A and B are shown apart, each in its own frame.
Chain A
């Protein structure tokens, strides 16, 4: 019986743990690049929100009623 967890695929698919989702090496590479680009964009967004907050509030960012 074949199952999704067997990790055995035919043709040009990878065998074993290297390709548990049945992706070809090219698909894996593209997915890795997309994931990296997404991570960079998310990091840039964090940076943008942080820097814009500082730029707009200036020294006032440290002054708040306790």
Chain B
């Protein structure tokens, strides 16, 4: 018996464990579009706090919140690789596409999660770090591992993870949590169900194939339409809460009022139109407009507090 390796054996030994993923595949694991939303809402959470903190500390905090958000996305993709593979919308993601092995994604995500929490704690404070750790835990364990496959309320409760970045950001630059970031949390939290259920109405076949109990698949499209309307009725006035609390100015009041009414009008249309192509089209419109609505609310707050456009509504 020879101890020598054949070419083939040597090759297998050398390339065993070698990643096949490109840098862009690893970046895709971070869900860049979600990460942008995280950074954007966190930035607004910082700016409305008018923090007395060094810009470098604020920048690094924002970066670590972004990395923590990316880690959540990566760990979510690791856990959900099986259902991603059967959904048209997600089957080209790096793990189901075979570009990155699940173990690689797990190691990558855990490294980023732990690293971002530790660096945020060292750079800002441990309240913010704890909140970031809780956000990652909530998104990966509570939402992805537990709720997503077990209840149609998955995105309602899980939405808390997506709503937390402004709170984490405010804690990072002020050391405490104030009402303004809690209101921003509530707006994103209440926005999540109409946004995702509008998408779920259009993509219900995809979710059904994957066995994900989204509201239209479990309670039916009509019940989902009613719940979309109910959440939008709560969301529209909640969007004006920053004005009542004094950190939303005149421009914000106008945008929140017009945007809220437009959201309500679309939600009513989604409730009324239940058959065929028009029903799908209006659900798609609500999904698209909900993104614009949230973006405009936060962009206006950013303009008012970050660029000096704030004009008080009262007095």
Q: A48 touches which one: B7, B13, B119 (CB < 8 A)?
A: B119
Q: A52 touches which one: B11, B13, B14, B60 (CB < 8 A)?
A: B60
The reply to whether B18 and A52 contact each other, CB–CB distance below 8 Å, is: no
A18 within 8 A of B: no
| CB 8 Å contact bits of B17-41 with A (1 = contact, 0 = none) | 0111111001000000000000000
Q: B23 touches which one: A3, A4, A27, A34 (CB < 8 A)?
A: A34
The reply to whether B14 and A22 contact each other, CB–CB distance below 8 Å, is: yes
The reply to whether B18 and A33 contact each other, CB–CB distance below 8 Å, is: no
Smallest CB separation, A59 vs chain B (Å): 13
A1 within 8 A of B: yes
B2 within 8 A of A: yes
A55 within 8 A of B: yes
Question: When chains A and B are docked, how far (Å) is the Cα of A41 from the Cα of B293?
Answer: 35
Q: B57 touches which one: A1, A3, A34, A56 (CB < 8 A)?
A: A56
The reply to whether A6 and B7 contact each other, CB–CB distance below 8 Å, is: yes
B258 within 8 A of A: no
Query: Could you say which residues of chain A place their CB within 8 Å of the CB of B26?
Result: 34, 37
Question: When chains A and B are docked, how far (Å) is the Cα of A22 from the Cα of B20?
Answer: 14
Smallest CB separation, B9 vs chain A (Å): 8
Q: Which of B34-57 contact A (CB under 8 A)?
A: 54, 56-57
Query: Could you say which residues of chain A place their CB within 8 Å of the CB of B97?
Result: none
| CB 8 Å contact bits of A10-34 with B (1 = contact, 0 = none) | 1001000000011100010011011
The reply to whether B119 and A55 contact each other, CB–CB distance below 8 Å, is: no
Smallest CB separation, A56 vs chain B (Å): 7
The reply to whether A22 and B15 contact each other, CB–CB distance below 8 Å, is: yes
A46 within 8 A of B: no
Chain B positions within 8 Å of A, measured between CB atoms, are 2, 4-7, 10-11, 13-15, 18-23, 26, 54, 56-57, 60, 63, 119, 122-123
Could you list 10 A-B pairs, sorted by A, with CB under 8 Å?
A2-B4, A2-B6, A3-B4, A9-B7, A23-B15, A27-B18, A48-B119, A51-B60, A52-B123, A55-B56
Q: Which 7 A-B pairs have the closest CB atoms?
A: A22-B11, A4-B10, A55-B56, A21-B14, A55-B54, A37-B23, A2-B7
Given contacts A2-B5, A22-B7, 13 further A-B contacts (CB under 8 A): A1-B2, A1-B4, A2-B4, A3-B5, A21-B11, A22-B11, A23-B15, A30-B23, A37-B23, A48-B63, A52-B56, A52-B57, A52-B123
